[in-house]
Structure 1
Amino acid sequence: MLSIKINKVIPMDDMKLLVFFENGSVKQFDVGALSKDCPEFEVLRDPAIFQCVEVEPGGYGIAWNDELDCSEGELWENSIDISSK
């Protein structure tokens, strides 16, 4: 799979993220859906924790802390493209 690095991430309401990729694409990722399969992400239902998301060095993913992160591939494959909206 081609790796498309992340430039920026913005937390939104309802456990959703706007993810800006280096190729100009903007996608929306639903962390709430992820937490159904990965119980460790339930802690992100706390808005104060959810808002702490950052792009990892090099743009290879995003992270809330040392234990909760998502790779650029996961975000690219499991997000809705909203670039043209």
Structure 2
Amino acid sequence: MALLCHHDCVIHLANMTSAGEKQHYALALIKSLFSHLPDDFHIGLLYDIGCQLEQSCRKWGYLGPFLPRISFAISVFHAFGHQWACQLIYHPWK
């Protein structure tokens, strides 16, 4: 799994040792990113299951101090596979 900038340059990589998209890989990459950013930076996070990741973060307190500084979105391709309410909130054009 990789964390890329908006120019598609690799910032961090995580070696996925189990099948499927597990949230702990994304959480580790995001935490690593924020360790290198100033305290006032806000990021836009485009992730296939960003809606589920944000809900987990809010429910379980993951990424606690960083959560207010993240805007979650899902890619346009994946947005149309999600429920209408999810598309309204997480579609990057909305």
Q: TM-score, normalised by structure 1?
A: 0.27
Greater fraction of residues in helix: 2
Greater fraction of residues in strand: 1
- Kindly name which structure, 1 or 2, has the bigger radius of gyration based on alpha carbons: 2
- Which fold has the larger relative contact order, with Cα–Cα distance below 8 Å and residues 6 or more apart in sequence? 1
